Amino acid sequence: MALKRRLIASVIMLCLLAAAFTGCSGAKMKSPMGLMRPPLSAGVDSELKSAFLAAATGKGKAASSSDISLISPLSGDYRSAFVLHDIDNDGVDEALVFYKLENEPSKEHMNVLDNVNGKWVSVGDFSGTGTGVNFVRFVQMTETGYPAILVSQSLYENDSSKILSVYVCTGTEEKLTVKNVCTEVYSIMENIDVDSDGQLDIFLIQQDLTNNNSPRSTAKVFKMNASGTLDEFGTARLDGGISKYCSIQTDKVSASSPLRIYVDAIKGDAQAITEVLYWSTSSKSLVTPMFSLDTQSNMFTARSELLASQDYDGDGIIEIPSQRPLMGSRKYESPKNLYAQMNVTSWIEVHSSKDFQFTETLVNAADSYILDFKPLENIMGEFTVYSYINTRTWVFKEYSARYETAGEDLFAIICTTKDSANKNGVNPENYLIENDDGTVIYFEAREKGAKAGITVKSIKPCIKVFKDKELVSK
């Protein structure tokens, strides 16, 4: 792991020293997937192809078109190496062409072509280092200015190190001119109106892994000003022990409330956390309520199951899962008598930097249901659960925290196919949930629970469908 981090750190430092897509002096990228595409894609205007080839095979460049490989973005709205968009607001599309030259294996290029009176003319070529174009975006970041051109580049297929280059059109008087206004290394980014001023900003997170003993993560916000340059608008320290960032989500409870930013991440090998950030109008800074200055980490939202933050209850507010052990519980994952402990999942709603609301649940993500914990506790008192993965069964049992022992069975919840339930004589009145995929979740009584008055009617209000969002890297 230490060697891997040192390698990543070295790559980041090399990246910071190289200018991505900046004039003709930088070093740029090569995409294995992009290079598998045809050298010149079908469906592109022949005059545009000719103008591009003339520019790319000019003095000191490719000897012929056979020395040129096109590079297509791997994601986003634009998937062709020839990207058409009106970047100067003149009502006519300009072209960006992403390519690589055979005699420059460490560089990739972006050629900019203007359509002047129906004729394509190359007006600039930018180069930089990396291994692929992730996406190309055109984002209106000011009220009246030109759209910003955002180009994301991979860096040696390393999730923690990508390059974001931002370009803007700077003039159209004599001829179209484009310049690079920002190049930043990042792990995850999104265009978000962070301060709710009506204009999109660039929100990104950078990881510094140069110090194995103290890795750092920093959130940054960039805002474009009226002159077309980018200013660093705000920064915030985050948990540095992240192995992979997964997603960015936002919510806004009311017009007067700040926009909240939720960043799901995997910490270490098998733990998930969620960073929360919002812009404070009073302090003019990014606030991170889940980050502890004392520990320089975020353990408040830690969970051993890789559950994503989500609006699990449909109230329009994103909740963050956090977990604690369910005392006395057992999760049997094989026929052998080997088991792990189960968890109680708390869903956290963030109302302010000091105001949080918690709802405790039991989540069965594999079988897509969730149970409210407190109502169950009100019905049964102290209880625990034994989970049997092979039979998709949860058995609810009495439990004594004082003696740390489980007692008799109270009831069971079982997931199976509807056909199987019918063959086994399950009364449809005991169905708790019927899923579209043909499975059912049903209640099965136990003698001790029945004597205590625990029935399908008392449990049904506590259970609902749970559709877990996959926690994957972005």
pLDDT at 473: 53
Is the residue at 394 inside a domain? yes
DSSP tally for the chain: helices H, then strands E = 6, 30
What percentage of the chain carries pLDDT values higher than 70? 88
pLDDT at 210: 81
pLDDT at 109: 92
Confidence of residue 276 (pLDDT cuts 50, 70, 90): very high
* Three-class secondary structure of residue 134 per DSSP: strand
Is residue 92 a contact partner of residue 176, using CB atoms and an 8 Å limit?
no
Euclidean distance between CA atoms 148 and 168, whole angstroms: 5
Is residue 287 a contact partner of residue 295, using CB atoms and an 8 Å limit?
no
Pairing mode, strands 320-325 and 201-208? unpaired
What are the backbone dihedrals phi and psi of residue 10, each rounded to the nearest 5 degrees, phi first?
-60, -40
Weakest mean pLDDT among 41-55, 57-71, 138-152, 228-242: 57-71
Weakest mean pLDDT among 313-317, 355-359, 468-472: 468-472
Structure-token match 């300009």, residue found: 94
Euclidean distance between CA atoms 461 and 443, whole angstroms: 12
Tell me the pTM. Answer: 0.85
Euclidean distance between CA atoms 30 and 165, whole angstroms: 16
Which of 292, 453, 460 lies closest to 372 in space, CA to CA?
A: 460
Euclidean distance between CA atoms 245 and 263, whole angstroms: 7
Weakest mean pLDDT among 4-13, 185-194, 357-366, 370-379: 4-13
Residue 441, both tokens: 């979740």
Is residue 185 a contact partner of residue 163, using CB atoms and an 8 Å limit?
yes
Residue 420, both tokens: 């199987």
Write the pLDDT tens digit of every residue in 15-39.
443 444 443 333 333 333 333 344 4
Confidence of residue 255 (pLDDT cuts 50, 70, 90): confident
Q: Which residues contact 167 (CB under 8 A, 6 or more apart)?
A: 21, 126, 148, 149, 151, 178, 179, 180, 181
Is the pLDDT at 5 greater than 70? The verdict is no
Q: Tell me the mean pLDDT in the region 335-352.
A: 88
Is the residue at 121 inside a domain? no
Write the pLDDT tens digit of every residue in 394-430.
999 999 999 999 999 999 999 999 999 999 999 999 9
Q: Tell me the mean pLDDT in the region 284-302.
A: 94
Is the pLDDT at 1 greater than 80? The verdict is no
Write the pLDDT tens digit of every residue in 64-121.
788 899 999 999 999 999 999 999 999 999 999 999 988 887 788 999 999 999 999 9
Is the residue at 413 inside a domain? yes
Write the pLDDT tens digit of every residue in 220-232.
999 999 888 999 9
Is the residue at 282 inside a domain? no
pLDDT at 58: 76
Is the residue at 12 inside a domain? no
Is the residue at 311 inside a domain? no
Is the pLDDT at 269 greater than 80? The verdict is yes
Write the pLDDT tens digit of every residue in 450-459.
999 999 999 9
Q: Tell me the mean pLDDT in the region 251-275.
A: 92
User: Domain span at residue 457?
Assistant: 324-469
pLDDT at 42: 55
Q: Tell me the mean pLDDT in the region 230-254.
A: 94
Residue 78, both tokens: 């634009």
Q: Concatenated DSSP letters for 81-102?
A: SEEEE-SSSSSS-EEEEEEEET
Higher pLDDT, 172 or 461: 461
Euclidean distance between CA atoms 146 and 247, whole angstroms: 28
pLDDT at 217: 96
Is residue 383 a contact partner of residue 410, using CB atoms and an 8 Å limit?
yes
Q: Mean pLDDT across the chain, nearest whole number?
A: 87
Is the residue at 156 inside a domain? no
Pairing mode, strands 28-29 and 119-130? parallel
Is residue 20 a contact partner of residue 130, using CB atoms and an 8 Å limit?
yes
Euclidean distance between CA atoms 128 and 121, whole angstroms: 22
* Three-class secondary structure of residue 416 per DSSP: strand
Residue 217's identity, in one-letter code, is S
Q: Is 424 left (phi over 0), alpha (psi -120 to 50) or beta?
A: alpha
Burial 416-427 (b: 16+ CB within 10 A, else e): bebeebeeeebe
Pairing mode, strands 230-238 and 242-251? unpaired
Q: Concatenated DSSP letters for 394-406?
A: EEEEEEETTTTEE
Number of domains in the chain: 1
What percentage of the chain carries pLDDT values higher than 90? 71
Q: Which residues contact 247 (CB under 8 A, 6 or more apart)?
A: 263, 264, 308, 471, 472, 474
pLDDT at 22: 40
Euclidean distance between CA atoms 296 and 327, whole angstroms: 29
Q: Half-sphere exposure of residue 230, counting CA atoms within 13 Å on the CB side?
A: 26
Confidence of residue 256 (pLDDT cuts 50, 70, 90): confident
Is the residue at 340 inside a domain? yes
Please provide the distance, in angstroms rounded to a whole number, between the alpha carbons at the two ends of the chain: 22
Is residue 471 a contact partner of residue 272, using CB atoms and an 8 Å limit?
yes
* Three-class secondary structure of residue 36 per DSSP: helix
